[in-house]
Structure 1
Amino acid sequence: MKAFPKFDYQGIEYDLTHLTAFSCDYIQPAKSDGTAEKRYRCIIEFSTHCFTRGENKRKGEKLSDIESALHYVTAKETRIFCFERYQVSKMLPQIMREISRNKCYFTSADDKFLTISVTDKNGKKVDYEIYFSLQRAKSPKHDVHIYINSAYIRDGDYKENHGTKVRRKPVGFFVLLHNTLINKRIKRPK
């Protein structure tokens, strides 16, 4: 997989090589019931949504309202380069290397997500939401392909519907990997 092209704005270059796809092995420890240790060889890939944002429809924002120098253009879409998402995205590779230590949750779209507390630019703890999907890898070098669909700090501009807190159900990361590998549908807990 190739790296995202760097982004230039007002003479400053924003390097995106930290979001180049990489391989990562996750090791599920052996269990006391005699179940052996299991290794999952994964490829982790990131989307542009990890460092760009869409128009804020709540505020009636249109792409044409945004300075064109901030447009990040790909063959699929044009989005807005987001300095905050870019800054926080530098932590994504390490977060994904350690994802098996955290609980994952279902979203309404049946993708999975993970929430990590991070410190924002003002020194305040905030929730960094990472949305990802899994599928069996096509490469014989990997078992599972993990695609990071989006990642951002939840703020007032991107609140959940009507400001109500959605009760999310946890699912173990190794359950996600195992079920993906054996083509077993991952059911949302009730």
Structure 2
Amino acid sequence: MAWERFASPSGDYDLSHLDPFLLTVSPQDGSAGYRVLVSFGHHTFTREVRAGDEEGLKHAVDGDVRCFCAERHRCSLRLPAIVRASGRGRAYFSQGRNFLLVEDMPGAKGPYAVFFNIGRARAKAFDANLFVVSAYLKPNLPPRRKLASITLVTLIGKTVRGEPITRPKPRMKK
């Protein structure tokens, strides 16, 4: 799905940076890389609707009505680069079923949390689908060192091979 411009009462916002792209992630052992189709949902540039929100700020996708958020849009401009760089980094287990990437944003109040789901591809053109469900500043996110993690390439490899992905057990404090 290609994103159109969003026309709001305060101006037009380009969303094309959130168009899907193909990411190739290679294991460090030199084995064949994985082709991952990356796509983005509208929660990356919208927030929940609140009383008093202007009608012109509402944005709907498949019946999910949200409110355009200039701050989330501004942060989303970095999303493709964050996802591309994550191919060499770690993904963190969220409290729910999805995973997250964490990025520090200069001058922001807290880290930028990028929530995503991953699944095996049904098409032969790529190996996996990575769908960024939501992304926003999350000041109360625990420090990364306290979050269970897995390398993104390992997560993708296990997904493609249909292997179970298990959350590491917390380390016992001595």
Q: TM-score w.r.t. structure 1 length? A: 0.81
Segments of 5+ residues of structure 2 without an aligned counterpart are 170-174
Counterparts of 1:178 and 1:11, CA distance in 2: 44
Q: Stretches of 4+ moved more than 3 A in 1?
A: 123-126, 164-167
Are the aligned partners of 2:9 and 2:57 in contact in 1 as well (CA < 8 Å)? Answer: no
Which residue of the partner structure matches residue 59 of structure 1? Answer: none
Higher Rg of the two aligned structures: 1
Counterparts of 1:67 and 1:149, CA distance in 2: 24
Instruction: Select which of 135, 144, 169 maps to 2:119.
Output: 135
Are the aligned partners of 1:114 and 1:131 in contact in 2 as well (CA < 8 Å)? Answer: yes
- 1:80-104 Cα deviation digits (max 9, x unpaired): 1010110110111111111123221
Which structure shows the higher helix fraction?
Answer: 1
Counterparts of 1:188 and 1:124, CA distance in 2: 29
Which residue of the partner structure matches residue 137 of structure 2? Answer: 153
Instruction: Select which of 72, 77, 83 maps to 2:64.
Output: 77
Counterparts of 1:74 and 1:145, CA distance in 2: 19
Q: Equivalent residues in 2 for 1:165-184 (5 A)?
A: 167-184=146-163
Residue 42 of structure 1: how far off its partner (Å) = 0.7
- 1:24-62 Cα deviation digits (max 9, x unpaired): 1111122xxxxx42300010010001000114xxxxxx4
- Any idea what SS the aligned residue of 1:4 has? coil
Q: Equivalent residues in 2 for 1:120-131 (5 A)?
A: 123-124=107-108, 126-131=110-115
Which residue of the partner structure matches residue 42 of structure 2? Answer: 48
Counterparts of 1:68 and 1:104, CA distance in 2: 36
Q: Taking structure 1 as reference, are residues 69 and 107 closer, same or farther at Cα in structure 2, changes over 3 Å only?
A: same
Residue 75 of structure 1: how far off its partner (Å) = 2.3
- Does residue 14 (structure 1) correspond to residue 46 (structure 2)? The answer is no
Counterparts of 1:75 and 1:169, CA distance in 2: 33
Instruction: Select which of 99, 117, 133 maps to 2:104.
Output: 117
Are the aligned partners of 1:29 and 1:38 in contact in 2 as well (CA < 8 Å)? Answer: no
Which residue of the partner structure matches residue 66 of structure 1? Answer: 53
- Any idea what SS the aligned residue of 2:43 has? helix
Counterparts of 2:157 and 2:44, CA distance in 1: 26
Instruction: Select which of 8, 33, 38 maps to 2:32.
Output: 38
Q: Taking structure 1 as reference, are residues 83 and 183 closer, same or farther at Cα in structure 2, changes over 3 Å only?
A: same
Residue 147 of structure 1: how far off its partner (Å) = 0.5
Count of aligned positions: 168
Q: TM-score w.r.t. structure 2 length? A: 0.88
Counterparts of 2:83 and 2:42, CA distance in 1: 16
